[in-house]
Chains A and B, each alone.
Chain A
Amino acid sequence: MPELLDLFTKDVQELENEGFLFTTLEKLLSWGRANSLWPATFGLACCAIEMMSSTDGRNDLARFGSEVFRASPRQADVMIVAGRLSKKMAPVMRRVWEQMPDPKWVISMGACASSGGMFNNYAVVQNVDSVVPVDVFVPGCPPRPEALIYAIMQLQKKVKGQAIDEGLVKLPMVEAWKR
């Protein structure tokens, strides 16, 4: 009898954690999303040069299904904020992010976008996370193209629901839905 009860509680937990009808579909969806992350172009400074060169022949971001940089946010899945964000640009970026269709992700590339870097002054937003929800931060000034590719690999893990943070807490697949 207690075994049965255990089984029952296990089932209930599984239901609560994964849902019932759409578990397999969700996996398929996240697999598809993770392998076709189309970035919106949001190059703001020198990091944009490295972002561009990550799609060139040598580094070839197309191997991960995210080579098509979309000029229209309506067709993009992930916004790569590459460079320092000035306070005047912040509302524009927020608007571009809001125009992107759900589900959407944000990569904060480089020291300036992620923390202001060495530009600790009145003109620069000190963390892009205060404007849009950031999924992956990439340190570096600027990060190598390989570092950006590594970040996109981490984002793919997050999209698939395999990401954990330093406190071993499982991260949500889409941060934007939590806000």
Chain B
Amino acid sequence: MGVMEIAKGMGITLSKLFQKPVTICYPEQPAQLKARFRGRHVLTRHPGTGLEKCIGCSLCAAACPAYAIYVEAAENDPKSPHSPGERYASVYEINMLRCIFCGMCEEACPTGAIVLGNEFELADYRYGDFVYGKEDMMVGTQGSKLQRREARTSGKPVVMGFEVSVREELEGVKYAPDRRVSDGESNRASNPANPESAGRKA
């Protein structure tokens, strides 16, 4: 008892001093997400034609346990259709505050139109600003409403604080700071029809 024990204890403290810090400095460093993390929804489009996959069937709204989804369907104009089916969703709204990000809408969707993306920076100031419409969730829209508003007012691009390898269901989605995506993959993301046709030729 005495000096040796204290030295032993202090030795442990000292050895921890030289460990690599475990902190992920989130806003400066991107958070590392798993591909299956469920964040803000994305409404996808058909890769070749660019038509919306959503046919306005409201099955997602029926499956939603929190009643967060509202869909209003309308007949497609055959000359300039929005979707390949007879109908399309003229209004598609999700209340992000009601949503519990369970992914049941994705499971229920017969066309794979609604897919849960990876964005989690959704905080905002007003309750009414949380109803995300079609234009807020369509493929190609980057960031939450607050992030896009800040980008608009400051003139800077939307910067998202995470890195993820985008899963297949999120067709055409490319998150901006994704530095790990190789060239081939990013090509497929921007033009998903190409590799398929190339594969057929080979």
Contact B97 A135 (CB under 8 A): no
**CA separation between A122 and B78, bound complex, in Å?**
47
CB neighbours (8 Å) of A147 from chain B are 120-123
The answer, among B65, B120, B127, B129, for a CB contact under 8 Å with A146, is: B120
CB neighbours (8 Å) of B126 from chain A are 165-166
Is A63 part of the contact surface with B, judged by Cβ < 8 Å?
Answer: yes
Contact B23 A57 (CB under 8 A): yes
Interface string of A105-134 (1 = CB under 8 A from B): 000000100111110100000010100001
Interface SS of chain A: loop
Is A136 part of the contact surface with B, judged by Cβ < 8 Å?
Answer: yes
Interface size class of B (residues with CB under 8 A): 35 or more
CB neighbours (8 Å) of B162 from chain A are 146
Interface SS of chain B: loop
CB neighbours (8 Å) of B153 from chain A are 164, 168
Contact A111 B98 (CB under 8 A): yes
The answer, among B67, B97, B121, B145, for a CB contact under 8 Å with A166, is: B145
How many residues on chain A are close to B (CB under 8 Å)? 38
Contact B101 A140 (CB under 8 A): yes
Contact B102 A141 (CB under 8 A): yes
Contact B102 A150 (CB under 8 A): no
**CA separation between A115 and B127, bound complex, in Å?**
9
CB neighbours (8 Å) of B25 from chain A are 60, 63
CB neighbours (8 Å) of B27 from chain A are 149-150, 153
Supply 4 further A-B pairs (C-beta < 8 A) apart from A57-B23, A127-B127, A141-B100: A57-B21, A118-B65, A118-B100, A141-B102
